[in-house]
């Protein structure tokens, strides 16, 4: 389908749409406990939503992506976590998720990010350059699903901790 997808930072009018899209996208997700929309709200309320972008098609918000700082070995070292990313089911498989991810990665690069981590399907995220590294660990998850993308410097070693909103 040939339609224009535009990406921009969230504004206050988007908050309900973001919540609804996130709920809808994760509704039948096998590894979700359906709290992703609450994570976004908690991050926003704690000023921890470092990047929050929406995707628009025909003046309608159809997708959202969030990034927040992560700690590695208890320190913030300019690494970010990508989560969550959601596309309204009706608009999936049309390139919206990819455009959100590429734009979000550009946005955190603009914040001098050194790298980004996420928990997700390697088959989907490999195309953005994410891969699993043995020594960068998120405890409690299968290592092959914990993926990283390095922008600068070496891959850090150690344990990754997301904002408490993800607890």
Closest CB to ligand COA among 2 and 154?
2
The 3-state DSSP class for residue 1 equals coil
Instruction: Looking at residues 102 to 141 of the shown chain, list those that interact with ligand COA (rule: CB under 6 A).
Output: 120-121, 123-124
* Beta carbon of residue 63, minimum distance to ligand COA (angstroms, whole number): 6
Task: Check if the beta carbon of residue 61 is closer than 8 Å to that of residue 14.
Answer: yes
Contact between 20 and ligand COA per CB under 6 A: no
Residue whose beta carbon is closest to ligand COA? 97
How far is residue 104's CA from residue 47's CA, in Å, rounded to a whole number? 17
Contact between 164 and ligand COA per CB under 6 A: no
Contact between 93 and ligand COA per CB under 6 A: yes
* Beta carbon of residue 48, minimum distance to ligand COA (angstroms, whole number): 17
Contact between 25 and ligand COA per CB under 6 A: yes
How far is residue 129's CA from residue 104's CA, in Å, rounded to a whole number? 14
Taking every pair of Cα atoms in the chain, the longest distance, rounded to a whole number of angstroms, is 45
How far is residue 147's CA from residue 118's CA, in Å, rounded to a whole number? 5
């Amino acid at each position: 389908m040939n339609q224009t997808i535009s990406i921009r930072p969230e504004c206050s009018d988007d908050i309900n749409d973001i919540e609804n899209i996130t709920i809808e996208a994760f509704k039948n997700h096998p590894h979700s406990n359906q709290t992703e929309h609450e994570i976004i709200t908690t991050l926003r309320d704690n000023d921890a939503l470092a990047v929050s972008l929406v995707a628009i098609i025909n003046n309608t918000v159809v997708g959202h992506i969030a990034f927040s700082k992560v700690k590695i070995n208890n320190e913030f070292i300019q690494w970010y976590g990508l989560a969550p990313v959601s596309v309204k089911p009706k608009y999936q498989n049309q390139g919206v998720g990819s455009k959100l991810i590429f734009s979000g990665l550009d946005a955190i690069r603009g914040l001098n990010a050194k790298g980004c981590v996420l928990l997700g399907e390697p088959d989907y995220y490999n195309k953005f350059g994410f891969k699993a590294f043995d020594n960068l660990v998120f405890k409690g998850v299968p290592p092959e699903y914990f993926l990283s993308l390095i922008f600068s410097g070496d891959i850090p070693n150690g344990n990754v901790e997301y904002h408490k909103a993800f607890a």
